[in-house]
Structure 1
Amino acid sequence: MIKFVTALAQKLARPYPASKPLKKHPAIEATSERAIPFLLQPLEGAKTIAIGFCFAGGMAHDPVDGPQTSMSAPRALIDSAMRRTNHQLAEKLKDLQASFVLKSEAEAVVGCVAGPPANIDEIVRLSNQVLTSTDIPAEVLEDVKRLLAAQILEQAEDVDTKAQESFLSALCNPHPYIQALLPEASRIEQISDADIANWIRVNIVLARLRICIVGDLETTSAGQLVDRLFEGLPTGSMVDKLPPVQFVASAKEPIFLHHGGEPQAFVGIGGRSAAASRPSDWLAVRMLAHALTGDDKSRLFREIRDTQGVTYGLQYRFDFFSSTGFFVVFGSVSKQKLAEVLSAIRKSVRGFVEEGPTEGEQRSAREAFLRQVEQLNHNIVEFAYQLTTLRLFGWSVDDINAVESRAAGLSLSDPKYLHLLMPEEPLLVIVE
């Protein structure tokens, strides 16, 4: 997916790795004194507190004027706060070893505030100034529009982006989510001050908030941080749900895109898959996708490398909203060998789905997934992001607490999960 990320400064978006193993306690659902619900993931010994949050409703939720306003508004909020303080706000956050990120994605406006426990109160106070910077100067908006127009034009020429857009468009009937992936640069100029002001009034509201806090702190302290971070935001209203994605039958023949570059092909493979809102299905399919495509030990990688001498450099990626499963991009393939490689890809995927993973592949996929879960304890900001995303897509606190045990107990050879992984022939997209 295309990610339009806005941040105070790239170096302020710190990963905050943990220096030693941390003890993870079960996540807790709680409510602040101002009646704002949140999830707390206690990590005993953590030297960082991260507050992940999102406002449900993102670029795909703007069907009238497209995703351009959703892209522009978070950056305008940040730049407005910077200008109003003569950029002292950024310097203060840097001195406090803080991280503040706000970004627009298709499903939501996602953010994170993080820093050392000793500084977190002041970090939260300063971050609140950004979220409440509703008076956007005209010159700030013009600068933001120029920057985003340039980013869109650059992304539009990206081979991977073109392939994935065609991939999704071929799997689904027209849908706002697909429109959000590649906005039109020409429409950026049409955004007005009133558009931005209305977007902030509708989107940056308490009713749309999902909040997850990771760190070594008690529920009461966490609730106080929540109240201070979001103080001054209006209550607002819930976001309207997008219509469901309507899938169409996958194309039996590869889709060819003409890029105009070197006379070699980039091969993308993927298919629709399990929705993130069904935890067991999604976990099983995620592990199966890893067994099929996830690393140099996976079935597809080994078989295509050994039989065709071709490998891929981009591991599978999941698309939460549209349930399109994974998408793998191979490296360049000569046109003379293309038909043979495509046939081998289809044969490898079909064999995996029909036969199921071997015991060794199941074990490897489980271990890889559980390693990823464990690594989140060492990247507290990423942990907060992941929890917030899962909450956005309907995971309960029990679902979150049971991730490891559920993943360990799922039968990856179950035909139900194999069918969810790839219910039809894989869709192939060729960029020439």
Structure 2
Amino acid sequence: MTWRTRRVGDLASLFNGFPFDAATFSSTEEMPLVRIRDLLADEFETYIPVATAPGGALLRNDDVVVGMDGDFNVQLWRRGTAALNQRLCALRSRADCDPRFLAYALPRHLKVINDLTYATTVKHLSSWQVAHIAIPAPDIEEQRAIADFLDEQTSRIDTLIAKQTQLITTLRERRSAVVTRAVTRGLNGASLVETRNPFLPQIPEGWSQDRFGREIAVNEGQVDPSADPWAAMTLVAPNHIEGGTGRILGRESAAEQGADSGKYLATSGQILFSKIRPALNKIAIAVEDCLCSADMYPLSSRKGSDHRFIAHWMRATPFHNYVSVMSARVKMPKINREELAAAPWARPPRDEQRQIVTYLDDRLATIDLLIERADRHIALAKERRTALITATVAGQIDVRTTGRATQGVA
């Protein structure tokens, strides 16, 4: 087995995508268009008239497509004839190169370029850089053996990842169902009474139904996050909140985020609700006095209700369905104060609110632990996948002896 270092341009011919006119884009034409955002997608979103697609920008199966902006993603094309848009290039293997081997070998070299490329916004890659990447490659028969081995091994890992991903989806659905049942039915088996609200058709007997605006108040006024003492305070934006759980991700001050436009001041224990794209279900409890983005509302109860219960209520199906429907009526999905005030709300007695919160703390902790474990399994599987590919395409694993190969990686 002989390996030698070769440039990508010697292993495959490269062609660039074409700058198609956006005015010709549609969702009904015959020729699918691959844009950089579609490279890893499962379905096509954009089509163009066949007559507008030059032959030199048409993909076919077994081309290796490279994204030239952002993460420099690589995809072995298996979705039939399609037009290639600008900011993408494709490699068509020559007779002495297996396209699968090329698709497995390229990502680690592109990652090096990505890591070494300085950019203030989005990183860019040139087709010259792609063509001049030097990779170690064996003869064509060994390339095929390596590709066959990696196809089999990565398929097994991908199956494991898919199962864990489905498990997480199921657990999140279960989490949502547990929350919704507890905050709309209670824990005591009370009889249900009818309401006239289509988003909340029934509530337990003894609970009061009202407009959400009669329960909650939105903080007024904004502060300058670039001035003292606000600049040193933690600034929470929608991207800092995990959808569906309310977990706050990371902690950055207003100064660290370079904030310079007005922000709301929130106090510890208040509810933080993302009014932008509310279908993402980003509702959290402030764990400290902080600032929050103008894209969020800091909320508190007018009537002494438990803020933790209110936050659970806002993550539950009736409220989530309402804000999703209302926000979808505008181009940039968002909820204004009047729409928020009109949201459905059912208020149990304060003692029952605390019981429900305690119950949910216990139930959700178990579900969240299972989700965390599944996430960890996925991360480990992805690490193993990357390590396996890297070692194999570098010739560190003898793929002719599968048992020895997999044992070595393990």
State if a TM-score over 0.5 links the two structures.
no
User: TM class by shorter-chain length?
Assistant: under 0.3
TM-score (norm 1): 0.25
Larger radius of gyration: 2
Question: Highest relative contact order (Cα 8 Å, sep 6+), 1 or 2?
Answer: 1
In terms of fraction of residues, the more helix-rich structure is: 1
